Amino acid sequence: MNGAAKTMPNTTANALTDVPVFPLDNIHISDADLPAFTDMPFEDIEELELDHPGANDEDYRKRRDHIAAMSKRFRETGVITDIDYTDEEQGIWKHVAERLEELHQRHASPFYLRAKKDLGISNERIPQLTEMNRRLKELSNFRLAPIEGLVDTRAFLSWLSFRTMLSTQYIRHHSRPEYTPEPDIVHEAMGHIPMFTNRNFADYSQFIGYGARMATDEQLEQLGRLYWFTVEFGLVEHEGDIKAYGAGLLSSFGELEHAFSDKVELRKFDLEQVINHEFTYSDIQPVLYIIPSYAELKEVTRKYIESF
């Protein structure tokens, strides 16, 4: 087997659902264990909703499609393509990163702050998935796989069982740097990626992935809520303080400021309550949950998934 083939997603592999789920503590996933990407149900990425700030910008759409095509290449080659980001794109990153920096110093979980440094994520330039992926593998055997847009919930979550996060590479529209209706590199790299270097958080994410592969439709909805109130909007106790670790908070100044204002209701994390808590995707979040630690989140979730 040559080098390139070794890193390729195993195209002869079974479908996602054929890979054994138990034991849950299997962190020794290698690239060769990854299932084929075939049949991954993507939402139509060419359909840009009208509320997308770039919907009527011909040049933006071309550029977004171009980067999406680079991301998509991974599925044939297994190799992540670095993106040659333009000065304008770098400017958007710099603008958002600098504004978030001050809020992060005040409100982000100390683990997150360290992890961002460990991964070499700076305010100066957009980090490449290749760099972060290399480091992530060393630290927690998690990995990144580029994708061109939103995938359906079950597929997206299922990939976490292979300690793999599917990640976009394009960036939001310059007219509204504080806002994106879809995941972009700011949301992925500023929000999600650093937390996967935490061993407990990585294991927890993997458990959700296993859950998604076994879940009934109703259980899948519950897992979606669990993911939402932790991975996206989670808060954690730290030495008597409350800190943010959710990607939806860490990658958005509006959400982060709101989370630490008196307009939000903070609740102690309770699994039963969280999995039954319906939320509205597009609203600013009125209720947030605080976990005592990543280790406890992991153990509670283990029991829950084992009950499936």
Residue 297 CB, nearest distance to Fe ion (Å)? 17
Q: Read off the tokens for 146.
A: 């580029």
Q: Which of residues 243-272 bind Fe ion (CB under 5 A)?
A: 247
Residue 247 CB, nearest distance to Fe ion (Å)? 5
CA contacts within 13 A on the Cβ side of 285: 27
Count of chain residues binding Fe ion (CB under 5 A): 1
C-alpha 198/C-alpha 196 separation (Å) is 5
CA contacts within 13 A on the Cβ side of 122: 5
Q: Read off the tokens for 92.
A: 């958007």
Nearer to Fe ion, 67 or 160 (CB): 160
Q: Is residue 252 flagged as an active site residue?
A: no
Residue nearest to Fe ion (CB): 247
Place of tokens 């920096």: 101
Question: Please, what is the end-to-end C-alpha distance for the chain in angstroms?
Answer: 38
Nearer to Fe ion, 179 or 308 (CB): 179
C-alpha 18/C-alpha 213 separation (Å) is 9
Q: Read off the tokens for 179.
A: 């806002």
Nearer to Fe ion, 157 or 247 (CB): 247
Q: Which of residues 28-87 bind Fe ion (CB under 5 A)?
A: none
Taking CB under 5 A as the binding criterion, the range among 76-84, 137-145, 233-241, 242-250 that sits at the site for Fe ion is: 242-250
Q: Which of residues 279-308 bind Fe ion (CB under 5 A)?
A: none
User: Quick check: helix, strand or coil at residue 89?
Assistant: helix
Interaction pattern, residues 198-237, with Fe ion; x per rule: CB under 5 A: ----------------------------------------
User: DSSP secondary-structure letter at 233?
Assistant: T
Give alpha helix (H) positions in the chain.
3-7, 58-77, 87-107, 110-118, 129-140, 153-159, 185-186, 199-214, 217-227, 247-250, 253-259, 271-275, 294-306
Residue 100 CB, nearest distance to Fe ion (Å)? 15
Interaction pattern, residues 95-114, with Fe ion; x per rule: CB under 5 A: --------------------
C-alpha 242/C-alpha 296 separation (Å) is 16
Taking CB under 5 A as the binding criterion, the range among 115-123, 128-136, 163-171, 241-249 that sits at the site for Fe ion is: 241-249
Q: Is residue 255 flagged as an active site residue?
A: no
Q: Which of 109, 161, 205, 251 is catalytic?
A: 251
Short-list 226, 228, 243, CA closest to 292: 243
Q: Which of 158, 187, 205, 252 is catalytic?
A: 187
Nearer to Fe ion, 34 or 165 (CB): 165
Residue 141 CB, nearest distance to Fe ion (Å)? 21
Nearer to Fe ion, 83 or 247 (CB): 247
Nearer to Fe ion, 151 or 247 (CB): 247
Q: Which of 104, 107, 173, 192 is catalytic?
A: 192
Short-list 56, 10, 59, CA closest to 37: 10
Short-list 115, 62, 111, 102, CA closest to 86: 62
Residue 191 CB, nearest distance to Fe ion (Å)? 6
Binding region for Fe ion (CB under 5 A)? 247
Catalytically active residues are 187, 192, 232, 251
